[in-house]
Amino acid sequence: MTTDSARATAGVRPRVVVLDYGSGNLRSAERALARAGAEVTVTADLTAAAAADGLVVPGVGAYAACMAGIDALRAGPVIADRVAAGRPVLGICVGMQVLFEYGEEHGVVSKGLGLLPGGVTRLAARRLPHMGWNTVDVPPASRLLAGLPADGRFYFVHSYAATEPAGLVAAGALVTTATHETSFVAAVERGPLSAAQFHPEKSADTGALLLRNWLAHL
């Protein structure tokens, strides 16, 4: 892309905002993105979130609590506007899950941002949380995971996930899956929207690869 090469030539680092809506280990995301080459700001400021070259939506803990934090900040429309305008957004863990239409935890259904079709439900696995380093099945056209070795692993820690890739594929998304007793959606790429169920910021060199790939297309 022209802007990429222009920026690279100028030695300018892409400006990334990590959205601070009260969730997660934001410092980890900030450091990992900086290591991957971004100029990172952690902020709740929506003007900065709208203006950044890339916006990262983090999230750990409960779906409902994350949505409450996003709603309290009124960040939902900013995220949606960015995607509608073709401006990159990366959701991580629960920050990916909230991009779907809904999340169901403990029998309670919470409305999500609805930028991806389908919902997030409890994994049909005996051993939960799914915790540790797992491999992923990457579609050949993936930009986010380009260059990942076949045995590359990412750090996952979650009990809920999107488990219906068909709806995403039908909606034009590239879907990376992983298996923990059952198959689930590990990453999604659709236009400006990217998302990972795992934690690239905690995934050592493979995580850095993903973040560099994302930054390269901002």
Query: Which residue number, 48 or 208, has a Cβ lying nearer to other proteins?
Result: 208
**β-strand pairing of 54-57 with 89-92:** parallel
Whether the Cβ atoms of residue 211 and residue 198 lie closer than 8 Å to each other: no
Cα gap 78→46, rounded to integer Å: 7
CB of 170 to other proteins, least distance (A): 26
Cα gap 151→133, rounded to integer Å: 11
Report if residue 34 touches other proteins, rule: CB under 8 A. Answer: no
Query: Which residue number, 102 or 160, has a Cβ lying nearer to other proteins?
Result: 160
CA 70 to chain centre: 15
Among 9, 11, 107, 127, binds other proteins (CB under 8 A): 127
Among 162, 201, 210, 218, binds other proteins (CB under 8 A): 201
- Cα Rg for the chain, rounded, in angstroms? 16
Active site residue ranges: 93, 199, 201
Task: Give counts: helices (H), strands (E), the chain.
Answer: 8, 13
Among 16, 32, 40, 49, binds other proteins (CB under 8 A): 32
Whether the Cβ atoms of residue 88 and residue 214 lie closer than 8 Å to each other: yes
Among 50, 60, 68, 80, binds other proteins (CB under 8 A): 60
Query: Which residue number, 28 or 43, has a Cβ lying nearer to other proteins?
Result: 28
Question: By rule CB under 8 A, what count of residues binds other proteins?
Answer: 35
Query: Which residue number, 29 or 89, has a Cβ lying nearer to other proteins?
Result: 29
Give the residue among 72, 60, 124 at the shortest CA–CA distance from 96.
60
Question: Which region among 46-54, 77-85, 133-141, 182-190 touches other proteins (by CB under 8 A)?
Answer: 133-141
